[in-house]
Amino acid sequence: MEKLFQYVPEASKVQLREYLQKIPIEIKVTGQRLTKHGDFSLKRNGMSLITVNDSLNPYRFLITLLHELAHYKVVKQFGHRVKPHGKEWKKAFQETLLPFLCPNVFPDPICSILARHMKNPKASTDRDFDLVMALKTFDKNKFQTFIYQIENGVMFQIYNGKKFIKIKKRRTRFECKEVITGKIYVFSPHAEVIRL
C-alpha cells in the first residue's frame, strides 16, 4: 500500500491514507494499459481489487483511484444489481472525490474543471475534453500534437506506429482511415498523434 502513495499528489496523502485504512481492499499499481486507466473487480475469495496504471500523472492517478473506490462503495451497498456507471455510482463518486476537491490537491485549471465535471460525472474522464486537456498539461511524456489540431487529409502516426489519414469530424470524434488496411477508426479529439 505504501508504494501507492508515491503516485498521488502530496497534499492528498494523509487524507487518502485515512480513507483507505477504513476499507478492506487490495490496490495494485500496474503498467500502462492503453484501453483503461484503472479498474475494479471482486476476486473469487470475495476480496476487492483495484488496479491503476503507473503511467498516469498524480492528478489523473488520484481521480482514477477515487473513481474505482466509488465502484467498491456501490458494490458493497448494492451488489451487482445496478448499472456500473449509473446514478448510484455517480453519487458514490461525488461523495468519494468531494473531500479531495480543493486547490491544494488539484491545481487550477484542473480544480475548477473537475468541479464542473463532478456535477454529472461521466463513466470516463476521457469523455470530458476540457478535463483531459487540463490533466495532460501535467503529463511527463507529451506528444507534440492532438488529432483535433491537424487538418483533414493529413497523415499521422499513433503510439504503436500505425499510420492513419484524418478524414472528417463526426459529432465529437474524428473519423480516420488506417493507411495499410483501409479500415476506418474513430478517435477522441484529445488523441495524441505524430503528424507525418
pLDDT digits (tens, 9 = 90+) for 44-102: 887 899 999 998 999 999 999 999 999 999 999 998 889 999 999 999 999 999 999 99
User: What is the reported pTM?
Assistant: 0.82
Spatial neighbors of 186 by CB under 8 A, at least 6 apart, are: 170, 173, 174, 175, 176
Give the count of beta carbons closer than 10 Å to the beta carbon of residue 180. 8
Q: What is the largest CA-CA distance in the chain?
A: 54
Q: pLDDT at residue 143 above 80? A: no
**Span 90-119, average pLDDT:** 96
The predicted pLDDT at position 127 comes to 87
Q: Are 88 and 74 in contact (CB under 8 A)?
A: yes
Q: In the chain, count H helices and then E strands.
A: 5, 9
Task: Please give the pLDDT value at position 140.
Answer: 79
Q: What pLDDT, on the 0 to 100 scale, is given for residue 186? A: 93
Amino acid 68: pLDDT: 97
**Residue 142 pLDDT more than 70?**
no
pLDDT in tens, 31-43: 887 678 999 998 8
Please give the pLDDT value at position 44.
Answer: 80
Inter-axis angle of helices 58-78 and 129-136, nearest 10 = 130
